[in-house]
A and B are shown apart, each in its own frame.
Chain A
């Protein structure tokens, strides 16, 4: 498996965010976080609404948003993305430096870092986490670390230590040697591949990293549901299944203890229940769906901020589908793009609170450049002519016949419970009928959908979304090598020019932003013409917080729980 870029499906989360250049994207009409001249008051409880329980509280094996919203309270990364610009900035590391040849990365930790249980935080914690990723069988994070010298040897149990990582200066300096240049290295490796760094002293009791026995790993142990120590603003207190996860403030947090005493992540059945909880004041802050935006905006006790998200929603077309062989044809995929009215979908689902996208890099990214991209405005006649150009012939029943004579009938599937995607599916079914293509809609659970849309021949079309990190590295989504089990190029996309541009973007040798932007532009142009996805839209995030809560300042890269400055939040009484 090759390296993952920053990808976060609606619930599938593989965050390796990193940024290199400022691109302010916030569009906040009412800045929520006006700096208050008043003296912050201590005390109170912050409640965040989640839609479901966490599967795990340990980042190496976590793949879902609910789990991330828990582990990111206690396990931090050496660097983080600036909440507004996406630039990589210091977190646990005070300094990070990539050598001029691009082959050595050095992180220098802040002074006096300690875990909540009093144990010092050292580079050994980082190394332990990276080694845990190497030996885990449940993780989806391995490719982030695979260019480190000695990676394969440690992963396969030939060594008992990751040779390319040296911890110096009593644990304060982490030196990582790469076998080849990796442009997004600085930010991508801050979280040791997992995203958050584990307390090695406590975890060594359940999995010893100094071993060559590859049968043991960190995947199943009681600490995965019971974080033993915290480097974050909060300390895990208790988990009540179906009810909530409770945290208390960490007095040893390196940015200072939070003003607020307690943080609760409360479990709700769905997004509507979270919205209701926000309106009634049960939940202190959170985001709502576009359909609820107007209603929630009228609630006096809440203040709202609208900002762009770093992702998009799409319909993917499986070029390898056995049942719908026409999806391998570029004209057909373009016809499917012309055949759907994205503008109408956006009006119906987003109420205009978002922007249409025409290729992979979303408007929030520094790599975004929509110039010269075809916009595929809804055009039934053009769609039909493209289908006929591809060799399809209209049948007497109003459905096109493919070159082998079979009717152009296929399935589009999406995850049940996601209102927006279910609506897109209805639109697709209706509108594709008008261009002579028959759609069978299929709703599945999210897990089952991910499972079914694994690279292969067994599915046709599907509606999903990506949420992307600040540093653009779409290698894992579009490179032709990424079509193995569990990999993300599940539409079977192959284009040699795109393959090369993806490699240029990540392995340089020129890692300057100008060079990478040019490479990514090539990727976008090709995707726009090849249409492996019908790219739909990038929705805005509609964030609301209780007016009494001061200091909240959400933005694109503040991630879901917007806790980048949570220690400074306080309640005005």
Chain B
């Protein structure tokens, strides 16, 4: 397993390099001049001082050299200062990161807890009303854009019916992490982000379960008189879950990309909202830091997925 993890880690390097290169190029290709933005509102700056700042930032160097210098900075965890907040971009990101992880982890738990039973039910009750209902839900869950669902959630369940808060992490005056108030606030964004994942899982799982049900060892288990629940848990699910683990990659991607919009809709002070607002405000150091850190997290979560895959299916390691 150790060698497998090491190999996967090495393979992640080109991906990371690609992300860094793309992030760097996109920010440099943007028409806004970082020096102009940094000096906005400072009126006593002479053109010479402007050029000297440009020089000190290395912006007068050729692009490849700038890229190398940037990589060197990143290696020292230096993402530069936010143009808007005048603080290190990394500090801003680290302040918001735990908030985003709360949504992502909660959404993952909900997706698994709801999606897997739905998949099993759809397969075990094939052709029945439950199967049809789950299929309709799957198609709808895929088709409905998250931002729309989020807005509708806020407008109906929060603004009109007042069943849920309209956003934020806690009620004003309450400040807690593990409490009902936080759970109540988490529910909206987590439900909206989970919908796509929940819609995805039963589709994959249903096919797999149907395939496994037809296997000889399931028939044998039944003929031995094992309880149905035991057969599903021990024999069917464990084998049917292998492709599901692969699909977690897509689910994680949905969480990361979804949080950009959903955090804004639900006023959640996370990494997604920070990056979105920084992008609109052309706060490049924060955008770069946000994109790089999200990408690293995504690459790491893919790694965890691969390890989990190898764990449930030992043949993977051999390959």
Q: Which residues of A contact B (CB under 8 A)?
A: 1, 45, 47, 52-53, 55-56, 63, 137-138, 140, 220, 240-244, 262, 264, 266-269, 273, 276-277, 279-280, 282, 416-417, 445-448, 450-451, 484-487
| Closest A residue to B155 using CB positions | A276
Cα A240 to Cα B32 in complex, Å, equals 30
Tell whether B269 is near chain A: CB-to-CB under 8 Å: yes
Taken residue by residue from 122 to 139, chain B's Cβ proximity to chain A (1 for < 8 Å, 0 otherwise) reads as 000000000000000000
Tell whether B203 is near chain A: CB-to-CB under 8 Å: no
A428 to chain B, nearest CB (A): 22
Taken residue by residue from 149 to 184, chain B's Cβ proximity to chain A (1 for < 8 Å, 0 otherwise) reads as 000001100110010011111011100000000000
Are B32 and A47 in contact, with the CB atoms below 8 A?
no
Contacts A45-B173, A269-B264, A450-B40 given; indicate if A241 touches B158 (C-beta within 8 A). no
Q: Which residues of B contact A (CB under 8 A)?
A: 32, 36-37, 40-45, 83-86, 92, 95-96, 99, 154-155, 158-159, 162, 165-169, 171-173, 264-265, 267, 269-270, 273-274, 277, 280-282
Task: Identify A447's interface contact among B168, B273, B282, CB under 8 A.
Answer: B282
Which has the most chain B C-beta neighbours within 10 Å: A53, A262, A273?
A273
Q: Which residues of A contact B264 (CB under 8 A)?
A: 269
Task: Identify B37's interface contact among A240, A242, A244, A448, CB under 8 A.
Answer: A448
Are A241 and B166 in contact, with the CB atoms below 8 A?
no
Please classify the interface of chain A as helix (H, G, I), strand (E, B), loop, or mixed, using the class held by over half of its residues: loop
Q: Which residues of B contact A446 (CB under 8 A)?
A: 281
A414 to chain B, nearest CB (A): 14
Are A264 and B172 in contact, with the CB atoms below 8 A?
yes
Are B273 and A242 in contact, with the CB atoms below 8 A?
yes
Are B280 and A445 in contact, with the CB atoms below 8 A?
yes
B299 to chain A, nearest CB (A): 26
Which has the most chain A C-beta neighbours within 10 Å: B36, B41, B86, B277?
B41
Contacts A55-B85, A244-B172, A445-B280 given; indicate if A269 touches B267 (C-beta within 8 A). yes
Cα A487 to Cα B44 in complex, Å, equals 11
B81 to chain A, nearest CB (A): 10
Are B166 and A55 in contact, with the CB atoms below 8 A?
no
B289 to chain A, nearest CB (A): 14
B175 to chain A, nearest CB (A): 8
Task: Identify A417's interface contact among B43, B274, B280, CB under 8 A.
Answer: B280
Are A140 and B41 in contact, with the CB atoms below 8 A?
yes
Q: Which residues of A contact B40 (CB under 8 A)?
A: 447, 450-451
Cα A140 to Cα B43 in complex, Å, equals 8
Q: Which residues of B contact A1 (CB under 8 A)?
A: 43
Q: Which residues of A contact B154 (CB under 8 A)?
A: 276
Are A137 and B92 in contact, with the CB atoms below 8 A?
no
Contacts A276-B154, A280-B158 given; indicate if A445 touches B96 (C-beta within 8 A). no
A309 to chain B, nearest CB (A): 24
A61 to chain B, nearest CB (A): 8
Are B166 and A447 in contact, with the CB atoms below 8 A?
no
Are A241 and B44 in contact, with the CB atoms below 8 A?
no
Contacts A282-B166, A486-B43 given; indicate if A451 touches B37 (C-beta within 8 A). yes
Q: Which residues of B contact A451 (CB under 8 A)?
A: 32, 36-37, 40
A14 to chain B, nearest CB (A): 11
Are A486 and B41 in contact, with the CB atoms below 8 A?
yes
10 A-B residue pairings within 8 Å (CB atoms): A220-B86, A242-B96, A242-B269, A267-B267, A269-B265, A269-B267, A273-B166, A282-B168, A450-B40, A486-B42
Cα A446 to Cα B277 in complex, Å, equals 12
B111 to chain A, nearest CB (A): 25
| Closest B residue to A451 using CB positions | B40
Q: Which residues of A contact B155 (CB under 8 A)?
A: 276
A166 to chain B, nearest CB (A): 28
Task: Identify A273's interface contact among B36, B43, B171, B267, CB under 8 A.
Answer: B267
Are B281 and A445 in contact, with the CB atoms below 8 A?
yes
Q: Which residues of B contact A417 (CB under 8 A)?
A: 280
Are B172 and A266 in contact, with the CB atoms below 8 A?
yes
Cα A450 to Cα B32 in complex, Å, equals 12
Q: Which residues of A contact B277 (CB under 8 A)?
A: 52, 269
Q: Which residues of A contact B96 (CB under 8 A)?
A: 241-242
Cα A47 to Cα B173 in complex, Å, equals 10
Q: Which residues of B contact A47 (CB under 8 A)?
A: 172
Q: Which residues of B contact A445 (CB under 8 A)?
A: 280-282
Cα A266 to Cα B162 in complex, Å, equals 19
Q: Which residues of B contact A447 (CB under 8 A)?
A: 37, 40, 83-84, 281-282
Q: Which residues of B contact A277 (CB under 8 A)?
A: 166
| Closest A residue to B33 using CB positions | A451
Cα A445 to Cα B40 in complex, Å, equals 13
A417 to chain B, nearest CB (A): 7
Cα A484 to Cα B43 in complex, Å, equals 9
Are A55 and B84 in contact, with the CB atoms below 8 A?
yes
Q: Which residues of B contact A262 (CB under 8 A)?
A: 173
Q: Which residues of B contact A45 (CB under 8 A)?
A: 172-173
Q: Which residues of A contact B95 (CB under 8 A)?
A: 241-242
| Closest A residue to B279 using CB positions | A445
Which has the most chain A C-beta neighbours within 10 Å: B96, B158, B171?
B158
